Structure 1
Amino acid sequence: MTTHSTARTWLRIALLTLGAAAVLAVTLLLGTAIGETRIPLEMVRQVLANQLFGAGYAVDPIDQGIVWNYRLTRAIVAMCCGTGLALSGVILQSLLRNALADPYLLGISAGASTGAVLVTVAGLGAGAISMTAGAFGGAVLAFTLVALLAHAAGGGGLHNSGQIVLAGIAGSQLFNALTSLIITKSGSAEQARGIMFWLLGSLSGARWPSVWLTLTVAVAGVLACLWFARALDAFIFGTESAAALGVPVRRVQIVLLLTAALVTAVMVSVAGAIGFVGLVIPHVARLLVGVRHSRLLPASALLGAVFLVAADVVSRILIAGQVLPIGVITSLVGAPIFALMLLRQRQGGRS
């Protein structure tokens, strides 16, 4: 590669990075300004200037608290959750070579929910285990059981993507039932209502500790996925082809599956089980940028972030005076989009 072409490549990467940063900044500003009551963008700018640079604008303390401690944290956590769930969807679809693979369908989200509820409601660990740790353990356990069930049902383990999706659906139902049982037996009526609302997706509890947790995990997930981007390209042609190209198949599978489980567990522990982000966003990204993971992963991360911030805004303004679970919005949007993709794929197969 010549020096000129290398310079052009780095310039293109820099421009794309700046463009993505600008899109995320605008998304966060809009997510902070739009909500149950609209806050002017100028006030948002003044609050951010006060908090970040000590600008000294005269802003009402209540408005400043709403912007800084509620709206902004909620928007950032939504951005991180969208990024993490979309990346997990890319990982699972690529490794399993199945368009239906995502954390929600494969039981990872359901297992994470069960682990989180065991810690928070049933008191597992007597306070020694964090909610995130419980969610991660539940996610890993759920996917392990799903893989074992797929292997027992049809053989092939992770190589049999059709069986693993069916096993994932069964695993999701099992862990959802366990979650409901735990809530019913261990929680009060008020606690049960709060947990069930959270399980459908809720960012109402997002505060700065949640921001640092989800932001750290989302950034680490992006970097880990980009590190294995070329390996994921090789998995497009199957595990045997990937091994022939020199990819350490087993090690890459373990690292990336654990990454998907950890990212999903953290996002579920903060925002609940949000469906369709990991399923639909990677498909939309493939339509826009193709299947090369060096482009697919950043595009999926960006689209997931924007989509979930927008879904959170809609969940707050769709019904006046009432906040809907964010999972309701993602399902209402994601299900029709995925149905259109299936129809398009079927029509493409006939032509």
Structure 2
Amino acid sequence: MTQHRIAILGASGYTGAELVRLIATHPAMKIVALSADRKAGMAMDQVFPFLRHLDLPVLQKIDEIDFSGVDLCFCALPHATTQVVVNALPRNLKIVDLSADFRLRDPAEYEKWYGQPHTAVELQREAVYGLTEFYRDEIKTARLVAGTGCNAATGQFALRPLISAGVIDLDNILIDLKAGVSGAGRSLKENLLHAELSGGTHTYSMGGKHRHLGEFDQEFSKIAGRPVQVRFSPHLLPMNRGILATVYVKADPQVVHATLAKAYAAEPFLKVLPFGALPSTRDIAGSNFCHLGVIGDRVPGHAVVVAVLDNLTKGSSGQAIQNANLMLGIEETAGLMLAPVFP
């Protein structure tokens, strides 16, 4: 099997480390370059001791990497940094970006949600939105794929088929979401210190301020053919990995379940549970799977959809590899059928 040569920019962060973990057993990918900024010159096992069994390149500055021998580059860099870096990379290089810089198609929407003008608008127009199950054909021929937000992916898996089928009230959607702390990245933040976070549950970016709302607005409105605005309540839980989204909709519960089951029947990573069964974040930890469950609400004519995924895997790095597989002509599931970790 052909070994595709892979570079990972931003390998010292959580999503970068997750990419390395997954690619380590990938049958058709070989890591040939790793970058970091402050940790350039260090060995990867100095940054992440859990990877010490692997023979990996030393971390470099981005401008030290020779991209002429690289087939595909993953960018796991901070927002705003990525658009500058990607704009300077060779134009023939395939790129999967894990930041938010190319998710929103409208430059004005990017500026609205991220507080600054986009500096690589032509690339923004070129990028394909990376929710694999819904953009496969475009991803296969893309040069630049923009990975989704992890929260945005979870909510979309619960709602996209329902909006497409016209089985829910588009003006009555509430997403109540709980996320693990790794979704906030590896940078030191006071509110993420153990003493500040553990033992409690915290709301954040409430009242329509969360940036992933830009993706919900963009994608749901595109499907519906008219503006759709969901209510979104995000919470931070003292757990390392995982997202659980409880989605409340006005619809017949059995129809909601049947619609999701039909939409995802052939999807290898999306599992719809029997009606009345609900998933847990424990069921998908460390894996590229998303589990969905549906129950009826106590109020007649209303349904509850619960979707769970691992924010670092299906919500980010696993999704990125799934997209890269398509871009490189590899079997979509290659390197991603690892069972979840339990307990």
Task: Give the structure-2-normalised TM-score.
Answer: 0.27
Give the TM-score normalised by structure 1: 0.27
Q: Which has the higher helix share?
A: 1
Greater share of residues in strand: 2
- Structure label with greater radius of gyration: 1
